[in-house]
Amino acid sequence: MRSPTSYLHRSRYLALIVVATVASIGAAQDADDTDWRAVARGVGLSEADIHQLDTNRILITNKAYKQIYEAYPNGAGPSFITSDSLLNAYHVLYEESILKLEQAGAQRLPEILRFILANLDTASAEFENQAELMAARQRAIIVLGTALKLLDDDFALAGEPLMVTVKEEVAKIVAAQITMKPEWLGPPEPDFLAVDYTRFKVRGFYTKSEMLTRYFRAVAWLQSIPFRISHDDELLTILLLGRCLAPERFGGDLDTCEAYRNFFRTYTEFLGAGDDWDLVTATDAVAAGPEFDLDVKRAELIAQAEQEGGPEINDQLRFAPDDPNAAAEPNFRIVSAYRLPESVLFQRTTDIRQFRARPFPKGLEVCIALGSAFARARIQDAEKDKLLATIDANLGLFTGTSLYFDYLNMVATLLDVAEPNAPPFMATDPWQAKSCGTALAGWAQLRHTWVLQAKLNVSTLGSVLIRPLPPGFVEPEPEFFARMARLAARTRKLLARADAFGSNYLGLVETLTDCAELLDRCDTRKEFWQTVRARTDSGMFRLGTAVMALTRLSSDDLTEDNWTATMAGRLRRMAQDLSAGNLDRKAMGMVWLYDSDVEQLWSKLEAMSRRLESIARKQLAGTDIDREDVRFIKDYGASLAAIMLYGGNSAAQYPEDDAPRIADVYSNAELRTNLHVGIGRARALYVLYPWDGDVVLCRGAVMPYYEFTDPGRLTDDEWKARLDSEARPKVPAWLRPIIGAEGLNAPVAETSVGRN
């Protein structure tokens, strides 16, 4: 992924020249062939593929691209602009934007936790009549101290014996391997058997920097430790912590108070409500002061839970609750993960109290809930009738006001009945399989972005034409493109309100620091540059700005013996100046290279979606497109590349091989296995599009969807390595009929991908 170093894509500053040749359908169709089959042979399709294409009118091949925009080279002949391509661009831009917000959160969290810890003694003094106060205070220190130690290796509790426990917890979290309940949390109980430390394995875009890695572990930790209202010491602990965040602690600084409270609700408009009560709820629960009877307070909270509804998703290792309608009992977390509709659905479609043998949900359940008749017919289950009835009874879960619901509402347009006047093949099962694949590939990318903030699910135990060819066609789903335009506009507004587009040099500061650390590990200038040239992983791309900064720093006065140490010091001073907001002319130039105008790109995505909607409607109405439409289709690949942060010439020169994404979305506690959903590299899609009484062979691209179980929790790098090995999973059975005879193996890609 490019983030947080969009500088890579300002290619006029990077001397990276990659020669790529693109096999063009257009070139083949300009020959003297009179049959699309000859054209298909000319672009390398086998006879089996041609037969399959003739039958289904669509075909997904093993031809791969590092980035999906590569399937749309300028002037390459009739293209088919897929909803997949726009969805992928949305997700690249979305993840870039959310990453900036998470960087800001990573900077703010230590400050908030230190503030709470600093007020713990004052708050404890107010609670001095509570019998469980000592145990509550110790639990609070361990939970806070562990999070702070995860964020900062130098953190220590002076003269505090609990620091030993904190260090033990940190070691287990970083290792992310065992399942146990530590002694300080009490003995195993039916509703809290153990902590699954594998949940702390860092994944998603959080693996891209040390700061985000630490932040992931700390937040996941604060999300995982329950404070059950049925236990006096746990309830008192969270209320004690809530008092630490009371408005009176801020000495009249209401802006900081509000900022701290907002941290715990950062993504409400993006994702909806948290599934558990958080620290802000605890603060409000003791707003009147610390003088209360614990049993009375518990009764008030039980009544509040009955009114609001308790947690809808279980994320703990536990036995099922006695209440047949409950996922878990009401409890607090310092930070609550967010409640996503499909997570609640999965909780109910795998409930061991309702279903005999459903160890894992299926992605098609999401498509069924969004209205896909194809998914409804294709899903396989021993209790299919009961499963479908359960999904039907829970369709209300997929109605809401957050951006997440807007997204699901948009992809649902791909799953309904085809538009009037749409090509006949869009009403067939092969096309509906493609549409389900598109919707689920988009959903998998969305879950990848929210791998930390979304609450985990854990099961409980029990022919060539002589007339001019059109430049291409747009997938005839105008309502999808209309909703994408609205989604892009709302996303931009929410991100702006969350200050995602403000000046944020956190990633750049970390990039300079990373480069300084690399210099520390090298003895000479020669060794450093050899190390840089040998790097081919995505981490190298993150260092691009720092490497460019090095080339601009004068070093004529340095010797081989002191070059690395001196340059490392200069980069660290530059990072310190950026942190303090002191930018000289040289630093300003570097910041310009680093930052892309993400807000403007969101506006461009909205405009692109509007144009695609317009062209799709013209196609369906049989209206000719104008010159601007023709130019738009021809330039679509370059425009898409720019939105995906590949501006300038870098789109054709050096696309990163980082498209595969993976996210674990459900965990079976008894089997100790996790359901993963993800996407592979973009694959070429061929379509026989009806036009003027004939058909035109067009090429576009899709993001293939995968769904499989694994004992571990895979990172993106681990997933990409598996895709390139013999251990790669198969695509879902319902998708295979539209995949070519070669299947989706480790591909020999068409353009600059090479063997990947």
Q: Which long-range contacts (CB under 8 A, 24 or more apart) does 574-579 make?
A: 574/512, 574/549, 575/509, 575/512, 575/513, 575/516, 578/505, 578/508, 578/509, 578/512, 579/505, 579/509
DSSP string, 272-340: --BSSB-HHHHHHHTTT-S---HHHHHHHHHHHHHHH---S---SB-PPPSSTT-SS--EE-SSPPB--
Question: Model-level pTM?
Answer: 0.88
C-alpha to C-alpha distance for 561 and 656, rounded to whole angstroms: 35
Tell me, what's the pLDDT at 583? 64
Beta strand 79-81 pairing with 472-474: parallel
221: helix, coil or strand? helix
Reading the block at residue 233, the tokens are 């010491």
C-alpha to C-alpha distance for 340 and 20, rounded to whole angstroms: 42
Q: Kind and range of the H or E element at 406?
A: helix 403-411
* 393 half-sphere exposure, CB direction, 13 A CA radius: 10
Q: Kind and range of the H or E element at 449?
A: helix 429-449
Tell me, what's the pLDDT at 322? 85
The single-letter DSSP state of residue 2 is -
Other CB atoms within 10 A of residue 490 CB: 17
C-alpha to C-alpha distance for 685 and 708, rounded to whole angstroms: 23
Give the start-to-end residue ranges of the domains of the chain.
Answer: 120-244+268-332, 506-580
* pLDDT tens-digit series, residues 87-145: 999 999 999 999 999 999 999 999 999 999 999 999 999 887 778 899 999 999 999 99
Reading the block at residue 185, the tokens are 């949390």
**R_g over Cα of the chain:** 27
Residue 685: strand pairing partners: 60, 700
The stretches in the chain having pLDDT less than 50 are 1-34, 463-467, 536-538, 540-541, 592, 649-652, 749-756
The stretches of 152-248 forming alpha helices (DSSP H) are 163-175, 210-224, 232-244
Cα→Cα distances 590→58, 357, 498, 578, 596, Å: 46, 57, 25, 11, 12
Helix then strand count (H, E) for the chain reads 31, 12
